[in-house]
Amino acid sequence: MIKVSVIGAGTMGAGIAQIAATNGHEVCLFDSFDGAIETAESKLKKILDRLVEKERITQKENEIILGKINFTKDIKEVSGSGLVIEAIIENLDIKQKVFSEIESLVEDNCIIASNTSSLSIASIASACNKPDRVVGIHFFNPAPLMPLVEIIPSVQTSEKTLNSAKSIIDKWRKVTVIVKDTPGFIVNRVARPFYGEAIRVYEEGIADFATIDWAMREIGGFRMGPFQLMDYIGNDINYTVTETVFTAFYFDSRYKPSFTQKRMMEAGYLGRKSGRGYYDYSIENTPKANENRELGQQIVNRILVMLINEAADALFLNIATKEDIDLAMTKGVNYPKGLLAWADEIGISNVLKQLEELQNEYGEDRYRPSPLLKRMVKENRTFY
Ligand SMILES: NC(=O)c1ccc[n+]([C@@H]2O[C@H](COP(=O)([O-])OP(=O)(O)OC[C@H]3O[C@@H](n4cnc5c(N)ncnc54)[C@H](O)[C@@H]3O)[C@@H](O)[C@H]2O)c1
């Protein structure tokens, strides 16, 4: 079994190291910052102890997993790895330097992967002499719990690198999807309207946060409402992802960030972690939703057709297969159904009609329907 190295022992790196060790690999977990590796080690010990308490693993397994991880501040220890996964700070210059250094320490057949959420794999790979060995392997937080992993070949990635990377992650019992090296990959692109359109509905005064959240949960079947979820993710993080995707798509108005969320971030109303976001977590009483089902259904329909439009457009542009687009949203962000399957269920002509109505009413490019939806309606086709 190959040795796996993880660079960066933060939130994601520590979780990825845990998965690799649990799956029997010798693991090298490296971090260059003072204290980071010690913190990662003590956090991981606590997590494994909890798993023993909950009887998910035995004490013996706990010891075996920990025994497989070499917590180190010496990057030279990555030598001998078959796979290196980088999970350091989201900064292209720093990632490129680290990739170049890793390449000088490993054999030619070692795959070097990045867990980046927003940088292009092509730009990271360009720092290597053998860019064909570089691929994106994008885990979701918390990595040990979230089943989805997006595998992202860049223009330089070889077929062999892609297949080997996918086969390793499949063996870790993750659900892998293959996605083109484009901004936001699948999940962070297709999910944008879940936040953006919900905020828009609020900004127009159609409903308040609590009502929109209630509608998306109770009528839409989503596990969390958009405002609840933004408070959970953190308005700083969620806003930055939106802004990054918007910029990366050359300011396509579909991904336009909102002032409402920007002001939340500027005010320090980051969500749960700061005690206040869209909701105030210091008070017991949660605001009451207006549980009018007709209004709720309108809200759900509006956000849902925008999500379906995004999923259809990702398929139209061959970002991934229809199966992988649907899997990504159900396994990466717990959507109750795949968006394309959902479109079939409510009728693609209904989706198109609602989008056209929105586009006519607002005159905004944000609501332009994907050409694929138009084509499918014309040809009377369904996704499945
Ligand atoms: N947090 C998430 O939800 C999430 C989800 C998917 C992907 N990602 C991506 O994973 C990567 C890491 O994110 P995170 O949330 O774990 O960050 P983090 O800040 O928790 O951890 C980053 C770690 O990298 C270390 N580090 C920084 N520069 C380094 C260097 N030059 N060499 C070695 N170690 C270095 C830091 O000390 C820190 O321990 C980013 O690329 C991010 O976009 C994050």
Ligand 1, atom nearest to 118 Cα: 43
25 classed as catalytic? no
Q: Is residue 383 part of a domain?
A: no
Please give all residues whose beta carbon lies within 6 A of any atom in ligand 1, as ranges: 7-13, 31-33, 36, 87-90, 94, 98, 115-117, 139-141
Answer yes or no: do 348 and 228 share one domain. Answer: yes
Instruction: Please name the residue whose Cα sits nearest to atom 11 of ligand 1.
Output: 87
Q: Which CATH number fits the domain that encloses residue 275?
A: 1.10.1040.50
Answer yes or no: do 161 and 264 share one domain. Answer: no
Question: What percent of the chain has pLDDT above 90?
Answer: 98
Tell me the pLDDT band of 320, cut-offs 50, 70 and 90: very high
Q: Is residue 384 part of a domain?
A: no
Q: Give yes or no for residue 207 having a pLDDT over 90.
A: yes
- pLDDT score at 25: 98
Sole residue written with tokens 């999807």:
177
Nearest CA among 155, 97, 90, 146 for reference residue 121: 155
Distance 344 CA to ligand 1 centre (A): 39
- pLDDT score at 133: 98
Answer yes or no: do 78 and 200 share one domain. Answer: no
Other CB atoms within 10 Å distance of the CB of residue 54: 8
Q: Is residue 134 part of a domain?
A: yes
- pLDDT score at 34: 84
Instruction: Please name the residue whose Cα sits nearest to atom 32 of ligand 1.
Output: 32
- pLDDT score at 220: 98
- pLDDT score at 285: 79
Answer yes or no: do 221 and 151 share one domain. Answer: no
188 classed as catalytic? yes
Look up residue 302 and give its two tokens: 């509006």
Tell me the pLDDT band of 346, cut-offs 50, 70 and 90: very high
- pLDDT score at 284: 83
Answer yes or no: do 139 and 201 share one domain. Answer: no
Tell me the pLDDT band of 316, cut-offs 50, 70 and 90: very high
Answer yes or no: do 100 and 195 share one domain. Answer: no
**Strand boundaries in the chain, DSSP class E:** 3-7, 27-30, 69-72, 81-86, 111-114, 134-139, 148-152, 175-178
Amino acid at site 211: T
pLDDT in tens, 84-100: 999 999 999 999 999 99
In contact, 186 and 325? CB cutoff 8 Å: yes
In contact, 271 and 231? CB cutoff 8 Å: yes
Tell me the pLDDT band of 286, cut-offs 50, 70 and 90: confident
pLDDT in tens, 250-281: 999 999 999 999 999 999 999 999 999 999 99
Which of these three, 153, 178, 203, is where a domain ends? 178
Which of these three, 152, 178, 204, is where a domain ends? 178
Three-state secondary structure call for residue 196: helix
Local structure of residue 370 (DSSP, 8 states): P
Tell me the pLDDT band of 177, cut-offs 50, 70 and 90: very high
Answer yes or no: do 81 and 59 share one domain. Answer: yes
CB-count burial class (<10 Å; 0-12, 13-18, 19+) for 273? middle
Give the distance between the most distant pair of CA atoms in the chain: 64
Answer yes or no: do 138 and 205 share one domain. Answer: no
Which of these three, 147, 178, 209, is where a domain ends? 178
Q: Is residue 266 part of a domain?
A: yes
- The residue-averaged pLDDT of 71-96 equals 97
Answer yes or no: do 221 and 362 share one domain. Answer: yes
d(CA 311, CA 326): 8
Nearest CA among 357, 349, 369 for reference residue 306: 369
The contacts of residue 68 (CB under 8 Å, 6+ apart) are 21, 24, 25, 26, 27
- The residue-averaged pLDDT of 111-133 equals 97
Answer yes or no: do 232 and 284 share one domain. Answer: yes
- The residue-averaged pLDDT of 293-317 equals 98
Per the structure, the count of domains in the chain is 2
150 classed as catalytic? yes
Q: Is residue 184 part of a domain?
A: no
Q: Which of 59-63, 86-90, 152-156, 282-286 has the lowest mean pLDDT?
A: 282-286
- Name the residue range of residue 116's domain: 3-178
Answer yes or no: do 202 and 137 share one domain. Answer: no
- pLDDT score at 371: 98
Instruction: Please name the residue whose Cα sits nearest to atom 10 of ligand 1.
Output: 87
Answer yes or no: do 156 and 44 share one domain. Answer: yes
Tell me the pLDDT band of 124, cut-offs 50, 70 and 90: very high
Q: Give yes or no for residue 40 having a pLDDT over 90.
A: yes
Provide the mean pLDDT of the chain: 97
Selected catalytic residue, list 150, 154, 164, 197: 150
Q: Is residue 327 part of a domain?
A: yes
Half-sphere exposure of 152 (CA within 13 A, CB side): 32
Instruction: Please name the residue whose Cα sits nearest to atom 41 of ligand 1.
Output: 116
- The residue-averaged pLDDT of 180-184 equals 97
pLDDT in tens, 353-366: 999 999 999 999 99
